[in-house]
Chain A
Amino acid sequence: MAIRDSRDAIRLGIEMVHQHFMLVERFTVLENVMLGAEGGPLLARGAALARAGLARLGEAFGLRVDPDARVGNLPVGAQQRVEILKALHRGAEVLILDEPTGVLTPQEADDLFRVLRALRAQGRTVLLITHKLREIMAVTDAVSVMRAGRMVAHRETAATSVAELGELMIGRRLAAPAPRPAPKLGPVLLEARNLSVRDAGGVERVKGVDLTLRGGEILGIAGVAGNGQGELLETLAAMRRPATGEIRLGGRTVFPGWGFNPAALRRQRLGHVPEDRLRSGLLRNASAAETAILGYQDDPSWRRFGLLAPPAIAAHAARLMRDYDVRPPDPALRSALFSGGNQQKLILAREIDRDPQVLLVGQPTRGVDIGGIDAIHQRLLACRAAGKAVLLVSVELDEIMALADRILVMFDGRIMGELATAEADERRLGLLMAGVSPERAA
């Protein structure tokens, strides 16, 4: 039986609880549950049935929600219960949950697991998509490991261990760190204490992070994508405001305080190569020359009589493009027309050329070809040799191993642990990335 759209899946009894809830916030719980399963053109009869059904399901699975509450007023955990109730009301035999605990408090997660066990006891199938190994060990019967778009292993949960799963997630032996001179450590240049960050929805994405970065070293931040690394990087670059905590740059407190914004930090010699170059690194429709001064457009060296002087800018861009081997070396070309690797080299050139003391780099080689990767890595190592402090956020473990002196692993917004690159291996990294602390893994 082929499944072509969501209607086919629903007919076969397959329901999904999405990571971002498919709930109408202004509707009541009852209205949300009825949507798509109204039981006839008029609502009255179906509403009575749904109300009775909700009471019955609530009893059977411990999913109690007030059917007349507005969904937007419910806490996230209760909203998720509504999603599950919606699925069950439509007769779900197979329930798919996508990273269901990402937004839940630990208590809410425990409640969820109780519900999932009750579902299993009543003969329903639950498919749990998660990168948290603890959850897999706690509630599942069987586990499949997916890596780079392929199913790479299947195990009975009882017959496997956190350690084995962690290794399977990474999947191969990591290259040993490349031999290079020991770091010549300089003074502490970037410091964050107890840093917490909330997103626009109020969810805490970074939870009490401490880190210290010295001149002459590269600090790698590893982790499965979406565990707060991106938010941490953006916060250190002042693109987000922390909820709490302290940030010191070059010995001066920049947060809390006045002038915590990207331009002010740039003036204090902080360079930033953002994770998403197309969103925050360049302007697609601007020329390469304009991209080459973006963020530094107030510099008097390319201004005449208070206005931008295109010849000076073009000359500057041409020099950067030559030095960093950006191809084609045409400052007038639209930024969007360069390949990913050449766009990235141009942004890197722009930031490094300002001689920053601290360089924040996010996913520097995402979408970059092999030759470009090597060139970018050499540039970052040169920064290290020049005594700059480099913070490298990457989901590519090979990249972290090749560049970093120390590795912090982030999980669920926290630093799970720190490893010196020399002692990092796939097992330890895998466990930390899956949220298992080193003591428990031992």
Chain B
Amino acid sequence: MVALELILPILAATLRTATPLLLGALAGLFSERAGIIDVGLEGKMLVGAFAAAAAAAVTGNVLLGLVAGIGGACLLGLVHAYACVTLRGSQVVSGMAINIIASGLTATLALAWFSQGGQTPPLPPGARFLPVTLPGAAALAGVPVLGPAYAALVSGQTVLVYLALILVPFSAWVLYRTRFGLRLRASGEHPAAVDTAGISVARLRYSAVMVASVLCGIAGAYIATAQGAGFVRDMVAGRGYIALAAMILGGWRPWPILFTCLLFGLLDAVAIRLQGVAVPGIGAFPVQALQALPYLLTVVLLAGFVGRAIPPRASGQPYVKER
């Protein structure tokens, strides 16, 4: 039972830390499957976090915060789509520019609007997403193993965690079972084939980037109003990049992406747990080593040591109608 008491909190923390990664990675999935590289996940999540926290702080309504977060990320997404699709610019450069803009803009606006040193005011419980207790948690409480597990893992998460998990099968369904998904995947593989079939590649890619922006907005709102209680400068802290790594490691496919996000979430949860724990002979546990693992794994995979990550064939290439 001691083991259970140790493991359950870590697993519950894993779900919480994996959620923003999952939302971000699914965002990247939609964008890149359509042929638009999205290194701007970080920036869109940051703007989403700021807009959500700001709106929730002003209105006291967390749902309005979520809507604002999505709106903020979408504005930035529109800029990315305009630069990549309409102007046929470099997608990586545009993505990096978005990250830099987001970092500066959120800090500046926070300072100008709230005068609290680049933060939003701390959110009261009513302006945050709170854990919901699912029915049955009380009834199962007496059952050994199953009871505590249900209470800690299945029940007691915020709505956005459930939403992120449901989005995995939903994304798979959209990509592989709908007309939109078929066209989206085709425009990431061979846009000329989409064009000759009489379908607008530009419109498809715009829609894909907007879908990605909505998901980034939700991820940002989760970070600021569910995980945290307000906006703090640069609070996304690289999770946009880790989401990108999870997407690549997951081979641009929804179910493997769920797996890699949970893995990275677990690493993060364990790292938090081990903070300050002394290891005989070394001293304090080197948490940074665990935190670097997602990046290392991605580099190893991209270098071709484990299997091979095959990106969509036309990703990163602006579509030009005639040769």
A residues apposed to B, CB below 8 Å: 5-7, 9-11, 16, 18, 22-27, 31-32, 34-38, 40-44, 46
Known A35-B183, A44-B177: A6·B195 in contact at CB below 8 Å: yes
- Give complex CA distance A16, B194 in Å: 14
B193 touches A22 (CB 8 A): yes
Segment of B60-68, B78-86, B88-96, B196-204 engaged in the interface with chain A: B196-204
B196 touches A22 (CB 8 A): yes
B215-255 CB mask vs A (1 if < 8 Å, else 0) is: 00000000000000000000000000000000000000000
B196 touches A27 (CB 8 A): no
B180 touches A41 (CB 8 A): yes
30 chain-A/chain-B pairs, Cβ below 8 angstroms: A5-B198, A6-B196, A6-B198, A10-B197, A11-B198, A22-B190, A22-B192, A23-B190, A24-B185, A24-B186, A24-B189, A24-B193, A26-B189, A26-B313, A27-B189, A31-B186, A35-B182, A35-B186, A35-B197, A35-B199, A36-B197, A36-B198, A36-B199, A38-B182, A38-B183, A41-B178, A41-B180, A42-B177, A42-B179, A43-B178
Pick the contact of B182: A7, A26, A43 (CB < 8 A): A43
Q: Cβ of B178: which chain A residues have Cβ within 8 Å of it?
A: 41-43
Would you give the shortest CB distance from A134 to chain B, in whole angstroms? 29
Q: Cβ of A46: which chain B residues have Cβ within 8 Å of it?
A: 179
- Give complex CA distance A37, B179 in Å: 9
- Give complex CA distance A35, B199 in Å: 9
- Give complex CA distance A34, B194 in Å: 11
- Give complex CA distance A22, B198 in Å: 12
* 13 further interface pairs, Cβ-Cβ under 8 Å (given A5-B198, A43-B179): A6-B197, A10-B198, A11-B198, A16-B196, A23-B190, A23-B193, A25-B189, A31-B186, A35-B182, A35-B186, A41-B180, A43-B177, A43-B181
Closest partner residue, chain A, to B190 (CB atom): A24
Total interface residues in chain B, CB < 8 Å: 21
Would you give the shortest CB distance from A79 to chain B, in whole angstroms? 12
Pick the contact of B198: A7, A18, A40 (CB < 8 A): A7
What are the 7 closest A-B residue pairs judged by CB atoms, nearest first?
A36-B197, A7-B198, A22-B193, A38-B179, A24-B189, A24-B190, A22-B196
Q: Cβ of A42: which chain B residues have Cβ within 8 Å of it?
A: 177-179
Q: Cβ of B181: which chain A residues have Cβ within 8 Å of it?
A: 43
B189 touches A35 (CB 8 A): no
Closest partner residue, chain B, to A34 (CB atom): B182
A25 touches B190 (CB 8 A): yes
Would you give the shortest CB distance from B208 to chain A, in whole angstroms? 16
- Give complex CA distance A31, B182 in Å: 8
B313 touches A35 (CB 8 A): no
Q: Cβ of A6: which chain B residues have Cβ within 8 Å of it?
A: 195-198
- Give complex CA distance A11, B177 in Å: 25
- Give complex CA distance A11, B197 in Å: 11
A35 touches B193 (CB 8 A): yes
Would you give the shortest CB distance from B147 to chain A, in whole angstroms? 41
- Give complex CA distance A114, B29 in Å: 44
Within 8 A of A (CB), among B162-196: 176-183, 185-186, 189-190, 192-196
Q: Cβ of B195: which chain A residues have Cβ within 8 Å of it?
A: 6
Closest partner residue, chain A, to B179 (CB atom): A38
Closest partner residue, chain A, to B312 (CB atom): A26
Would you give the shortest CB distance from B309 to chain A, in whole angstroms? 14
- Give complex CA distance A43, B184 in Å: 13
- Give complex CA distance A35, B201 in Å: 13
- Give complex CA distance A24, B184 in Å: 12
B194 touches A35 (CB 8 A): yes
Would you give the shortest CB distance from B88 to chain A, in whole angstroms? 19
Would you give the shortest CB distance from B197 to chain A, in whole angstroms? 3
- Give complex CA distance A10, B194 in Å: 13
- Give complex CA distance A46, B196 in Å: 20
Would you give the shortest CB distance from A129 to chain B, in whole angstroms? 16
Closest partner residue, chain A, to B192 (CB atom): A22
Q: Cβ of B313: which chain A residues have Cβ within 8 Å of it?
A: 25-26
Q: Cβ of B194: which chain A residues have Cβ within 8 Å of it?
A: 35-36
Q: Cβ of A16: which chain B residues have Cβ within 8 Å of it?
A: 196
Q: Cβ of B177: which chain A residues have Cβ within 8 Å of it?
A: 42-44
B269-295 CB mask vs A (1 if < 8 Å, else 0) is: 000000000000000000000000000
Would you give the shortest CB distance from A67 to chain B, in whole angstroms? 15
B186 touches A27 (CB 8 A): yes
Q: Cβ of A7: which chain B residues have Cβ within 8 Å of it?
A: 198
Q: Cβ of A24: which chain B residues have Cβ within 8 Å of it?
A: 185-186, 189-190, 193
Would you give the shortest CB distance from A5 to chain B, in whole angstroms? 7
Closest partner residue, chain B, to A37 (CB atom): B197
- Give complex CA distance A40, B177 in Å: 11
Would you give the shortest CB distance from B268 to chain A, in whole angstroms? 33
- Give complex CA distance A38, B197 in Å: 11
Closest partner residue, chain A, to B177 (CB atom): A43
Would you give the shortest CB distance from A116 to chain B, in whole angstroms? 20
- Give complex CA distance A27, B178 in Å: 14
Q: Cβ of B193: which chain A residues have Cβ within 8 Å of it?
A: 22-24, 32, 35
Closest partner residue, chain B, to A10 (CB atom): B198
A40 touches B179 (CB 8 A): yes
